[in-house]
A and B are shown apart, each in its own frame.
Chain A
Amino acid sequence: MPSKPDTLDRFSLPDAAGHFGGYGGVFVPETLMTALSELAAAYEVARKDPKFQAELRHYLKEFAGRPTELYFAEGLTKHAGGAKIYLKREDLLHTGAHKINNALAQALLAKRMGKKRIIAETGAGQHGVATAAACAKFGLECVVYMGAHDMARQALNVFRMRLMGAEVRGVEAGQKTLKEAINEAMRDWVTNVRTTHYILGTAYGSHPYPMMVRDFHRVIGQEAKEQILAREGRLPDELIACVGGGSNAIGLFFEFLEEPNVRMIGVEAGGRGITQGAHAARFAGGRLGVLQGCKTFLLQNADGQIELTHSVSAGLDYAAVGPEHAFYRERGRIEFAYATDDEVLEVFQLCSRLEGIIPALESTHALVEGLKRAKQLGKDKVIIVNLSGRGDKDVEQVAKILAAKS
């Protein structure tokens, strides 16, 4: 059957060099080029190897707790008074967020590649905790880089990582958040590339990472599709997910990209509002650039220096966004919105009260947008919000913020 020239084929991306249209690619120091192509080759073999896939499925089920529920959020639905809101319960996974899907898969891949030392970056600490758990499970050495500011605001996760045997190295450079942690992880990788695998925690960086991390999270959307068809007998009208680098969002969206009647909305961190240095909404205040391995939308100044960012949630507090999201935004396939710190703090409490579920601050960004949209949609409509993680790690921080406000 002849296809329309503009037909979307989600499997055609990225190309062999990691491009999603004009985004993505490979932008790293020469020392890493060979490691990246070896990784791409190893992944290419693994993804087609039924043994690898079976092993991964086994650990996702028995260690991580998949599948996760698609839960009808009655309280939030009633509160909004419009569309039905379903929550994809990635918060119920072992270690508390979707991050374990990717961490387990990459740890298995590292084992296949004979790399015994693992490094990772982490913002909120969820990817660090997931990686620490996977490394403990498989007996791999684990070093996690984390901005000193994030270590303070996500102290619980620092302790969890250390309990599981990971070494957490604080990063004091710049604004001491996720971006600086990635710089430091890249420096470690450049130095120890022969023995070390870098488990990057989001759908970002140089090829094959954006593709590989996406693939490892596709299970979210695959389950959600089956579950909503079973529950509602039809596809959802809208999918909503928060976007840091973009892994939980692309994981949920990917299975639906070719379903024309399903709208998809990624939610960025609006922080204190869209003024320079006060947010991390790359699509609201950024432009095309190259950072930490790929071409994408960045928050940068006129010269191309990377701008400061701010968000109440460490996991979304990052100046760049995954290249696949930039591509689908350009195509008009994925839309983007942002939620501010204040909106997030309010809905963090609301969700806890109405549902008995404490959401991660990151995921709460998606909830803010979900509630807004549910209000505008009729009761016959269906929304799925990706509840990417649980909020235990944020409780102490929110208590401090609320106390300071009152």
Chain B
Amino acid sequence: MSRLASAFARAKAQNRAAFIGYICAGDPDFDTSLAVGRTLLNAGVDILELGVPFSDPLADGLTNQLAAQRALESGMNAAKVFELVRRLRAEFPAAPIVFYTYYNLVFANGVDAYIRAAHEAGVNGMLTLDLPPEESGEVQAAAKKHGLDTVFIVAPTTPDARIATIAAATTGFIYYVSREGVTGVRADSAANIPSAVARIRARTQLPVAVGFGISTRAQVAQVAADADGVVVGSALVNCIRENLGAPATMIARLATVAADLVAGTRR
């Protein structure tokens, strides 16, 4: 079983959804980001989703845009992102780590070489936001070859007929984005998540995680009732942004916030 599959299986056995925590690699700098990753995994985050900072994150809201900007300004590059993964992997041998990235970063120097390097660093899966299944042949082949899981998105606008196409390209989990829009915190929770999850489940056996706009324990609990996984990003990134000058406070705050959100996954 892959690390991702085990994480979902373990959560299921404990009658809860898997908690997928998102941060941007290198936000606000390499060392702090390493401490942040460590804190999240120690707080019970099941799957760490690492955003690879990109100059043009067009699927992201302001919170994640600024995170990527902080990371890039601190000097993060491809080599340092891989190094960050290696360091986390050394401390947490079993934790699944998933890249959340944009296709040009994967494509620029050869898809196969990039995915091999990611795998060697300890990455277990990859979600490429601007890569639809139709254009993903090269990524699928390299992922299979190097033993990396693929993650693809289903959106509210995805027709039923496309879900099968998306599932066929996916080996890790389906990421259901709970509303049209970019990443970011929202006060209200998206409606119709149960029916959307059911719509996907009817067409694939893959785990279904739900994300985009989920930021409170109550929202996590609501989503966890139906989904196999809950993704929280901007709420964690905001803890970083709000405590930029005070790393110790930042880490303490993240530990509390993450533990509280993780507790919401119990059914």
Contacts and interface: CB of A to CB of B under 8 A. Distances in A.
B158 A34 contact: yes
A167 B156 CA distance: 28
B157 A306 contact: no
A27 B136 CA distance: 10
B71 to A, nearest CB: 11
B102 to A, nearest CB: 8
B182 A187 contact: yes
A4 B177 CA distance: 49
A286 B68 CA distance: 23
B132 A26 contact: yes
Contacts of A295: 107
B41 to A, nearest CB: 26
Contact of A30 (B61, B103, B105, B166): B166
Interface in A275-334: 288-293, 295, 298, 300, 302-306
B180 A290 contact: no
B162 A33 contact: yes
Nearest to A27: B130
Main secondary structure of the interface of B (DSSP, over half): loop
Nearest to B79: A303
A298 B157 contact: no
Interface in B103-150: 103-109, 129-132, 134-135
Contacts, number: 114
A194 B180 contact: yes
Contact of B180 (A26, A183, A193, A292): A193
A194 to B, nearest CB: 7
A27 B109 contact: no
A17 interface: yes
Contacts of B60: 187
A74 B78 CA distance: 55
A183 B58 contact: yes
Contacts of A26: 132, 134-135
B134 A17 contact: yes
B231 interface: no
Nearest to B81: A303
Contacts of A186: 58-59
Nearest to A308: B55
B180 A304 contact: no
Contacts of A180: 56
Interface residues of B, number: 40
A293 B131 CA distance: 9
Contacts of B162: 33-34
A30 B154 contact: yes
A29 B56 contact: no
B107 A29 contact: no
A105 B181 CA distance: 27
B182 A190 contact: yes
A289 B154 CA distance: 25
Given A34-B157, A190-B180, A29 B108 contact: no
A28 B132 contact: yes
A176 to B, nearest CB: 13
Contacts of B180: 31, 190-194
B104 A300 contact: yes
A356 B109 CA distance: 49
Contact of A289 (B72, B107, B129, B157): B107
B104 A30 contact: no
Residue of A17, A290, A291, A295 with most partner-chain B CB within 10 A: A290
A174 interface: yes
Contacts of A182: 58
B108 A28 contact: no
A183 B130 contact: no
Residue of B56, B154, B158 with most partner-chain A CB within 10 A: B56
Interface in A173-212: 173-174, 179-180, 182-183, 186-187, 190-194
16 contacts: A27-B103, A27-B131, A29-B59, A29-B130, A31-B153, A34-B158, A187-B58, A190-B181, A191-B181, A194-B180, A290-B130, A291-B56, A292-B58, A303-B77, A303-B105, A304-B104
Interface of B: 54-61, 65, 69, 72, 77-78, 103-109, 129-132, 134-135, 152-159, 162, 166, 177, 180-182
Closest 6 CB pairs of A and B: A304-B108, A31-B155, A191-B181, A30-B153, A303-B78, A183-B58
